[in-house]
Structures are given as structure tokens and as C-alpha cells.
């Protein structure tokens, strides 16, 4: 059975300026032991979905199941689900050990068992020897580890993490990504992680649900989200993308013809032969070459050097802007300069036809 089933869930709130549809008919299934991420811009409904799973809110419509069981009537403390928030919400007057053991104590666990479990949790989050400190004697990163240890101490089946890294500084945030991934692997607990940061989502997740305005746009593994975005929102929100519009025609294989007459062979027409479509092309999947031969002709606008790679900002002859990212090896950098005439070459399977 799945760890979590969200089935046709909708939720709206009455606000001062009318009804807010926070979630619209959201369905998703999260497997046991999965690192699952809800990714989307601020206000798209991520926290609302977590609060529904945790039991702090009830759905307006639809149903949520944990381990295959409907949980409509089960209060938060009987769901075996814990939450870690952006603000660590540690008890300031308690020691680290007391914070971590708090939930176990509330359940009436014996002091020996609590001590053992606290030690185990401290080792798990790499804070051995810190059980006697108070939260204000810890760095932000250490406080977040304590919050994680506290949330894991009573063996939840599912851990909900609501932007838990966003209060940390950049370097620490990057280290904590790997740390969270390790924690999930070692504990085998299902993690549902919320972020608006696409890098975080791609780096840590088994699967990602991309959300926008209360709706799920795409659910897939990171590679597929990045390589095969289904629509313009996903292609635009994740990474950098060139968008082109044109007509798909079949000459032997499918071909995209741009309004100016230039054309590109494509691998998959997305079932849209004969139609006008938008396509997405990642900047690193295209190449800049000397004029002549196959490709989209254009002119170099600006060249920007980024150390590991160089980005060419181009203008195609049809007027469309286009960006190509080249790795700086074998003297590839600055092979072309502003004003140079070029052609852009794109492998057929690098052209992704979008649904809208």
C-alpha cells in the first residue's frame, strides 16, 4: 500500500477579498520510503496540502489516506505523522535532550527508553554530546538538526518538512540537503518535503510534484521534470529554457517550422502534427556553430563568461531571443563574439513539445 494517497482534494478559504482556492482537485500517491517533494512558487498551496495530511485542516472535498486507511476522523496526534517547520520551534527553556525526548515523555515512555532513544537520535543528526545545551547555545543549523531529531524520535511513518532549510545561510543549506537525503535513507521514513527552490527539489527527491495556483502540473522523477516538462509553467519554473513557437509538419520525420521559415527536426511531435505549438529547448542542449548547414541562423548579441561555462545570448533571424550554454573546455569559450553570424544546432530529442 502507498504511504499517502491524496484523492481529488480541494480546499478553499474565505478571505477578506473573497474565496481563495488553495487546492483544486489535487491527486497524488506517495510510496513507502519515498523522498517526495512539493515544489512551487509561494502561495501555490504547498503548506495547505501538508496541513491536510497532518490533520491540522480538513479537506473541503476529496479524501486523504495514510497506509491505505481513510483518516478523516483521526486527529493529528493519532496519524503517526510529524512536521518540521522553517522556524525550528524548539522549547527554549528545555535542553536539547529534553526537546528531543519531549514526545516520548508525553506518551509515557520510561526514562531509560527515552535516554536511549535521545542518544540514538543525537548520533543520527551528528550532535553527540550536545544533549545538555539549550537551543540558544546552538547555531541555526544545529537547531534545525535538533528539530529533525525531535520529529524523528517517536518513529513517525511520514515526516512532513515545510521549507525546513530556508532560514539557513547558503552554504549550510547546501550541506543540509545531503544530510536530509542521508537521514531519509537511513531511517527509511517517507519524507514529504516542501520547497520553492527548484535546485533543492531536483537534488534531493525521488519524485517531484510541481504545483501552481492550487493545481498539480506534473509529477515525475527529477530527470523527467527537467528533460520532459509537460507545459510552459514547468519548463519555465525549473531551470532555464528557450521557448519557440512554430508549426509541426511531417516530412519523413516531424519538423518544427518557425514563422520566419527556418526549421528544426524533432524526435517526438507530442501528438500535435499539423498544429501550432510551443516547444522548450534547454540552453545546454543546443550548440552554436559557424554559419552554413542545418540549424537556426542568427546573430550573437552578448557573450557572458561564467567560469565553468559560457552563455551566448543570440537573436535568431526570425527575431526570437535564444540562449546557448557551452561548457568551457577544449577552448570552447569565446569561440564567437558579439555581432558574429552563427547557426544554432539542436539535437531532435532536445526539442520538447509542450501541452500548452
Give the residues lining the site for Mg ion (CB under 5 A): 47
- Whole-number Å distance between alpha carbons of 250 and 268: 11
Contact assessment for residue 231 and residue 217, using Cβ atoms and an 8 Å cutoff:
yes
Residue 149 vs 238, nearer CB to ligand ADP: 238
Write out the binding residues for ligand ADP, residues 45-74 only, by CB under 6 A: 45-48
167 Rama sector, left if φ>0, alpha if ψ -120 to 50, beta otherwise: alpha
**CB closer to Mg ion out of 83 and 241:** 83
- Rounded Cα–Cα distance for residues 131 and 117 (Å): 12
Q: What is the C-alpha to C-alpha distance for residues 58 and 345, in angstroms, rounded to an integer?
A: 52
Residue 282 is a binding residue for ligand ADP (CB under 6 A): no
Q: Which does 48 bind (CB under 5 to 8 A by kind): ligand ADP, Mg ion, none?
A: ligand ADP
Among the candidate windows 44-52, 251-259, 317-325, 339-347, which touches ligand ADP by CB under 6 A? 44-52
DSSP code string of 92-156: TTS-HHHHHHHHHHHTT--HHHHHHHHHHHHHHTT-TT-TT--GGGS-HHHHHHHHHHHHHTT--
> Is there binding between residue 213 and ligand ADP (CB under 6 A)?
no
Cα Rg for the chain, rounded, in angstroms? 25
| Distance separating alpha carbons of residues 313 and 322, to the nearest angstrom | 6
When CB distances are held under 5 to 8 angstroms depending on the partner's kind, the choice from Mg ion, ligand ADP, none that residue 20 binds is ligand ADP
Q: Kindly state the smallest distance separating residue 312's Cβ from ligand ADP, in Å.
A: 35
Choice between 17 and 136, CB closer to ligand ADP: 17
Closer residue to ligand ADP (CB): 44 or 118: 44
Q: Please give the C-alpha separations between residue 21 and each of 106, 112, 233, 297, in angstroms, as whole numbers.
A: 37, 48, 19, 45
Of the residues 13, 56, 91, 306, which one makes contact with ligand ADP according to CB under 6 A: 13
Binding range to ligand ADP, per CB under 6 A, among 12-20, 96-104, 284-292, 303-311: 12-20
Q: Rule CB under 6 A: which residues touch ligand ADP? A: 13, 15, 20, 22, 40, 42-48
Amino acid at each position: 500500500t502507498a504511504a499517502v494517497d491524496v484523492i481529488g482534494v480541494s480546499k478553499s478559504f474565505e478571505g477578506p477579498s473573497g474565496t481563495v482556492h488553495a487546492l483544486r482537485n489535487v491527486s497524488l500517491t506517495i510510496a513507502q520510503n519515498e523522498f517526495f517533494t512539493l515544489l512551487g512558487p509561494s502561495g501555490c498551496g504547498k503548506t495547505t496540502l501538508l496541513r491536510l495530511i497532518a490533520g491540522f485542516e480538513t479537506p473541503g472535498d476529496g479524501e486523504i489516506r495514510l497506509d491505505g486507511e481513510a483518516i478523516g476522523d483521526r486527529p493529528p496526534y493519532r496519524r503517526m505523522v510529524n512536521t518540521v517547520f522553517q522556524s525550528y520551534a524548539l522549547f527554549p527553556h528545555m535542553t536539547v535532550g529534553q526537546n528531543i525526548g519531549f514526545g516520548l515523555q508525553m506518551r509515557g515512555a520510561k526514562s531509560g527508553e527515552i535516554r536511549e532513544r535521545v542518544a540514538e537520535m543525537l548520533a543520527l543528526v551528528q550532535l553527540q554530546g550536545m544533549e545538555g545545551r539549550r537551543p540558544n547555545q546552538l547555531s541555526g543549523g544545529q537547531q534545525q538538526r535538533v528539530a529533525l531529531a525531535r520529529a524523528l524520535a517517536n518513529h513517525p511513518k511520514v515526516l512532513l518538512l515545510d521549507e525546513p532549510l530556508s532560514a539557513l545561510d547558503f552554504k549550510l543549506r547546501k550541506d543540509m540537503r545531503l544530510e536530509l537525503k542521508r537521514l531519509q535513507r537511513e531511517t527509511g521514513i517517507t519524507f514529504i518535503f516542501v520547497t520553492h527552490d527548484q535546485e533543492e527539489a531536483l537534488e534531493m527527491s525521488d519524485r517531484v510534484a510541481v504545483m501552481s495556483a492550487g493545481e498539480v502540473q506534473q509529477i515525475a522523477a527529477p530527470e523527467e521534470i527537467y528533460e520532459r516538462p509537460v507545459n510552459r509553467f514547468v519548463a519555465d519554473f525549473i531551470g532555464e529554457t528557450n521557448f519557440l513557437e512554430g508549426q509541426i509538419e511531417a516530412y519523413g520525420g516531424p519538423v518544427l517550422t518557425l514563422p520566419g521559415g527556418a526549421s528544426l527536426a524533432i524526435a517526438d511531435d507530442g501528438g500535435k502534427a499539423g498544429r501550432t505549438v510551443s516547444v522548450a529547448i534547454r540552453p545546454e542542449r543546443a550548440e552554436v556553430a559557424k554559419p552554413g548547414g542545418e540549424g537556426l541562423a542568427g546573430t550573437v548579441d552578448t557573450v557572458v563568461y561564467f567560469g565553468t561555462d559560457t552563455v551566448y545570448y543570440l537573436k535568431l533571424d526570425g527575431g526570437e531571443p535564444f540562449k546557448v550554454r557551452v561548457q568551457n573546455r577544449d577552448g570552447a569559450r569565446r569561440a564567437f563574439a558579439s555581432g558574429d553570424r552563427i547557426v544554432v544546432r539542436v539535437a531532435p530529442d532536445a526539442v520538447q513539445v509542450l501541452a500548452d
